[in-house]
Amino acid sequence: MKLRIESFFVFALLTSLSGAALAQTTSSTEKKPLLKQKQKIEQIVKPVPIAKVKRKPNKTPVVKFSIAMLESGRFDPGYFGFSIAEVVDAIEKTTSAKKGEYELTTEYSARRAAALTGKFLADYSLDDTFAFVLAVAKGWESRVGLGYDFNADTSEVRLFVLPKWSSMNGIGESGDQTNRREYKGFDQFNLEWKLDSESAYEGSNAHGAKVRVEKVSYTRLGIVVNRIPFLSFTRGIFYIDPSSTTKFTIERVRAAKELPAMKALFVMRLANPYIAYHFSSVAPTLESPRDISNRHKYLTGDVLGIIFYSGLTGEIFSRLPEDFGKPAPKLETRAEDKTR
């Protein structure tokens, strides 16, 4: 039976307290693991995608998102835009410029500011509105914080949007602590993650006991935003039987087809510092010989609205807030005004 990745990380964290950390004695490049051992590593750390939306290769330029795309009551079910990882990578490349040896500080500041105001990803700038397409899983326990349940007797669909209460240490991917910015109490959504590397080495403790250590490094991506004003409930790291965020009704036969393909569109505006960082690790022990490094990168800013829609027809099922993306009502012109 395959282990769930969440159970693996919890187990690694608990067992890491029961023994002394191991020292690395042989690198993975110096001793190749046996075939059976390699199969064991793959079984344990093979990543399970958090975002199950299948992305199609971008053969043509990405259509730039605009709020006007939501006005008709339908949203293009084939729209994918960019992933969180693509936007994070592009921002990091834009903001990673280093000060030249003979460059004045004022020149460097002006150069970096100009880079931030220009185009950094296709036709996008940091001032543009971004929309991210996410899958909506059955049940409120979804790891991305989005879920639904359906009552066949009442034809009612309950939708859940459950951000986690953030607590991030601000350590960047290199572990540099000179420019840290901590994030506590913000709304956090873990939306994507990727396995960076996996290897093995021989470790030993102070008493000379040796054991094979599995080394895993991964990156988690998502958003950490200011408290979303249209979500008025107490945040938590975990939720137990939460109330639904919003509801709608759908005929039972349609529900069987539409709900498994439902998507959500997170619409947000980025804000300085654009990316928030967090780093954590688990040291290996004799009882749990696993060396785990966790890098976290999250886009920062504000969520403007969330749209739930059909991944088959594009029909918009629900809007948060309720009027988000709807066209402004037209003002009626009185007859006497036309004669003036």
Question: What digits encode the pLDDT tens for the residues 254-279?
Answer: 999 999 999 999 999 999 889 999 99
Averaged confidence pLDDT in the chain? 80
Pairing mode of beta strands 119-121, 156-161: unpaired
pLDDT for position 102: 84
pLDDT score of 114: 79
Q: What is the pLDDT of residue 258?
A: 96
The rounded distance, in Å, linking the Cα atoms of 173 and 180 is 11
pLDDT of residue 168: 84
Question: In 3D, which of 264, 242, 230, 254 has the Cα closest to residue 150?
Answer: 254
Mutual angle of helices 84-95 and 105-117, in 10-degree steps: 160
* Closest to 310 (Cα-Cα) out of 253, 268, 254: 254
Which range (38-52, 146-160, 207-221) has the least confidence?
38-52
Q: How high is the pLDDT of residue 249?
A: 96
CB of 51 within 8 A of CB of 316?
Answer: no
Is the pLDDT at 98 greater than 80? The verdict is no
State the average pLDDT over residues 159-166. Answer: 92
Higher pLDDT, 318 or 4: 318
pLDDT reading at 42 higher than 70: no
For residue 24, the model assigns a pLDDT of 55
Please provide the distance, in angstroms rounded to a whole number, between the alpha carbons at the two ends of the chain: 79
pLDDT at 206: 78
Asked if pLDDT for residue 31 goes beyond 70, the answer is no
- Where are the chain's structural domains? 5-96+125-322
Q: Confidence band (pLDDT; 50, 70, 90) for 23? A: low
Q: Specify the pLDDT at position 27.
A: 43
Distance of CA 308 to the CA centre of its chain: 17
Residue 28 pLDDT > 90: no
**Comparison of pLDDT for 148 and 287, the residue scoring more:** 148
Q: Give the predicted TM-score (pTM) of the model.
A: 0.74
Other CB atoms within a 10 A radius of the CB of residue 178 amount to 5
Residue 175 pLDDT: 43
Task: Summarize pLDDT for 280-324 with one digit per residue, the tens.
Answer: 888 888 888 888 988 999 999 999 999 999 999 999 999 999 999
Between 90-99, 188-197, 222-231, 308-317, the lowest mean confidence (pLDDT) is in: 90-99
Amino acid type, 190: N
- Residue 138: what pLDDT? 94
The span from the CA of 204 to the CA of 21, in Å, is 9
What is the share, in percent, of the chain residues with pLDDT greater than 70? 77
pLDDT digits (tens, 9 = 90+) for 78-97: 998 899 999 999 998 887 77
Amino acid 105: pLDDT: 81
Q: Per-residue pLDDT for 131 more than 90?
A: yes
